[in-house]
Amino acid sequence: MIRAQGLVKKFGEFTAVDNIAFDVAKGEIFAFLGPNGAGKTTTIKMLTTLLRPTSGRVSLDGLDPVTHQTAARKQFGIVFQDPSVDDELTAYENMDFHGVLYSVPKKLRQVRIESLLKLFELWDRRSDQVKHFSGGMRRRLEIARSFLHTPKIIFLDEPTIGLDPQTRNQLWTHIKKLNDEEHVTVFLTTHYMEEAERVAHRIAIIDHGKIIAQGTPDELKAQTGTDTLEQAFLALTGSTIRQEEASGLDKMRTFDKAFRRVKG
Amino acid sequence: MNVVYILWLRQLKRSARSRARIIGSFAQPLLFLLAFGFGFGAMFQRAGQGNYIQFLAPGVITMSILFTSIFAGIEVIWDRQFGFLKETLVAPVPRILIMVGRTLGGATVAVLQGIVMFCICLAVGFRTSSLPLLPLALTFLILTAVLFTAVGTALASVLPDFQGFQLVMNFLVMPIFFLSGALFPLTNIPRAMRIIASLDPLSYSVDGLRSALIGETHFGVPLDLAVLCLVTAAAVVLGGYLFSRIQV
């Protein structure tokens, strides 16, 4: 369903993704793990037409996102690492907007919006503007939205970041359920190893732009002689802490928070 | 078509829900209308130029359109920073449709504000000389709004964040406004300034609107229309091109 071959992305001198290859089968849940700055998000951006690869090939259900952009975009839904809902619109309007963009027929749109909002327990709040939602509710809305057009593939880029254990647990339960029922292929990244161990059929570990190990959670543990995926991960990637610069968005969010506080 | 509609609708809903922005966008044109209109009125009259409120109103209406539409276009930066832009950029629709929908939405809001500003001018004592020409006035409002929303979108597509915004205000929007003839007649000004004014697209908006509302014109309506149509088309093409090249 998802195939990458010899995929490279360079930003000037810096090689963010260095000749990686992987295959994800239909209906599989595939976890892409790695320390900060390892190249996870860059890879997802190349898979989802947001960045052009420097070299190498990608295919989504046989379609190349570079040459068949629009057709490839229909195949997937995505939950970005950063929020991507419109604060000034209501939950229902955000869903409806997405449905129109993906040309989901009106009748079907209404049915699917209702069932997804109910599944993610947002139906009662459908007419509230998203700016009044908590972080967990926004995340649930984004995940519900990514399933709306019944995509074949779902990309989840750190979907559970900053959420409490209850919400995280519930999210993965829903995602597993939709994976079972709709046979969606799931490509996810996360920093919570126990989550990956729980939901993923297969795992690839990326560090410094290269895939350093690939296999089922059990295979990775056996390969490193460890008991948990977290230990396996640390054995493979070492325990040095990676530095990352604050992005413009992080700065802006800090500013926005401070601004809201001033306004009361 | 649905895509253009839903993006248009989104711009309208966002504007309608942001009361602070609506009130804020009237503050400046209103200040100009009252302070300049009544402050310079007597001087203007003594110089033999007639009633200054009559002269100034089309300029102030154009001003409110200029500011609102530039802001509507610049909103792309906001969407980029808060992530919503990505939602539209990965959607399986040509980006040009997204840009067109946004632009029409922003322009609609700007035109509505221009109409409200027109009513405020009427309340302050402005009188239009020809009712049958109101559709022509509306045409100028629409062209101006589309033009500057597209310009805002083009700028936002190349500016990474709000830090460049102050530059845009000081070196683009303000000069466009002050050099357009919105506040003073273009006859009897130094030659250099008249040349600059004739290069400023807003001059043709102000002149066209003034002609439709009070029958005074510097360039003539046919030239106003021709220039505005041409520049607006160019801005939409440029904005569409730059918007479709955004990478996040």
pLDDT at residue A245 greater than cutoff 70: no
For B138, the enclosing helix (H) or strand (E) is helix B134-158
Mutate to test the interface with A, among B77, B86, B162, B163 (most CBs of A within 10 A): B86
Distance CA B155, CA B246 (A): 11
Buried b / exposed e across A190-209, counting CB within 10 Å, b at 16+? bebbebbbebbebbbbbbbb
pLDDT tier, A264 (very low <50, low <70, confident <90, very high otherwise)? very low
pLDDT attached to residue A91: 96
The Cα-based distances of A119 to A11, A87, A135 in angstroms read 41, 21, 17
B232 inside 8 A of chain A by CB:
no
pLDDT tier, B24 (very low <50, low <70, confident <90, very high otherwise)? confident
pLDDT tier, A263 (very low <50, low <70, confident <90, very high otherwise)? very low
Tell me the average pLDDT across A45-61: 91
Tell me the average pLDDT across B3-9: 95
A86 chain-B contacts, CB cut-off 8 A: 10, 14, 84, 87
pLDDT at residue A161 greater than cutoff 90: no
pLDDT at residue B48 greater than cutoff 80: yes
Cβ contact, residue pair A88, B18, below 8 Å: yes
pLDDT at residue A12 greater than cutoff 90: no
pLDDT tens-place string over residues A163-219: 888 888 888 998 898 899 889 999 999 989 989 999 999 999 999 999 999 999 999
B88 chain-A contacts, CB cut-off 8 A: 101
Cβ contact, residue pair B82, A51, below 8 Å: no
Closest C-alpha among A33, A43, A51 to residue A5: A43
- 3-state SS, chain A, equals CEEEEEEEEEECCEEEEEEEEEEECCCCEEEEECCCCCCHHHHHHHHCCCCCCCEEEEEECCECCCCCHHHHHHHEEEECCCCCCCCCCEHHHHHHHHHHHCCCCHHHHHHHHHHHHHHCCCHHHCCCEHHHCCHHHHHHHHHHHHHCCCCCEEEEECCCCCCCHHHHHHHHHHHHHHHHHHCCEEEEECCCHHHHHHHCCEEEEEECCEEEEEECHHHHHHHHCCCCHHHHHHHHHCCCCCCCCCCHHHHHHHHHHHHHHHHC
In the chain, the amino acid numbered A99 is G
Through-space distance between the first and last CA atoms of chain B, rounded to whole angstroms: 25
pLDDT tier, B23 (very low <50, low <70, confident <90, very high otherwise)? confident
| Residue B36 per-residue DSSP state | I
pLDDT at residue B232 greater than cutoff 70: yes
pLDDT attached to residue A127: 96
A111 inside 8 A of chain B by CB:
no
A93 chain-B contacts, CB cut-off 8 A: 10, 13
pLDDT tens-place string over residues B54-74: 999 999 999 999 999 999 998
Tell me the average pLDDT across A87-94: 95
pLDDT at residue B105 greater than cutoff 90: yes
pLDDT attached to residue A164: 85
3-state secondary structure of B40: coil
pLDDT tens-place string over residues A182-194: 899 999 999 899 8
pLDDT at residue A4 greater than cutoff 80: yes
Minimum mean pLDDT range among B18-22, B88-92, B211-215: B18-22
More confident residue, A186 or B50: A186
pLDDT attached to residue A247: 56
